[in-house]
Structure 1
Amino acid sequence: MAKVIVWGSLKPHTGGKTTVEIEARNVQELLARLGETYPGLQNQIKRGVSVSIDGLIYREGWLEPLKPDSEVFLLPRMQGG
């Protein structure tokens, strides 16, 4: 299972958990399962999140593969201008 570290304003949507474990083959599956397990995250995920897998940040990496021991950081998408 991938270890997912939930960051910042996303934490309240996991009941305050900062770390959760999710079985997923890629980022798209991971986000879908997170939304199923933690319904409060669904709107945040739809608005956009940034995902870091083993230290590399992916903005649109839906099909990036996950290993069973991957460390994933889930962050609110950063907006800028």
Structure 2
Amino acid sequence: MAAVRIPPTLRADVGGLRELEARGETVGAVIDDLVERYPPLAGQLYSEGELASFVNVYLGGEDIRTLDGLDT
């Protein structure tokens, strides 16, 4: 289980929550779990099927773009 911090701009899409737990072996799977439970997030997080360039995801303080992206 992963703890996901939700930025203020997305909290309205998740019922005002600051943090959620999500399941997944990779960052992509964790995001998919969140989008499945909170469909409005998809429009906020993805652009043309890819993680939007303005969306920053960090794992252990490191940007996933410098790791394996959504496969991290």
Q: Shorter-chain TM-score category?
A: 0.7 to 0.9
2:32 partner letter: A
Whether 2:49 is the aligned partner of 1:43: answer no
Whether 2:60 is the aligned partner of 1:54: answer yes
The two structures have a TM-score, normalised by structure 1, of 0.71
Identity %: 30
CA RMSD of aligned residues (A): 1.4
Question: How far apart are the structure 2 equivalents of 1:12 and 1:57?
Answer: 24
Gaps of 5+ in 2: none
Give the paired residue count. Answer: 64
Question: How far apart are the structure 1 equivalents of 2:44 and 2:64?
Answer: 16
Question: How far apart are the structure 2 equivalents of 1:2 and 1:32?
Answer: 12
Whether 2:20 is the aligned partner of 1:20: answer yes
Question: Higher helix proportion, which one?
Answer: 2
Gaps of 5+ in 1: 65-81
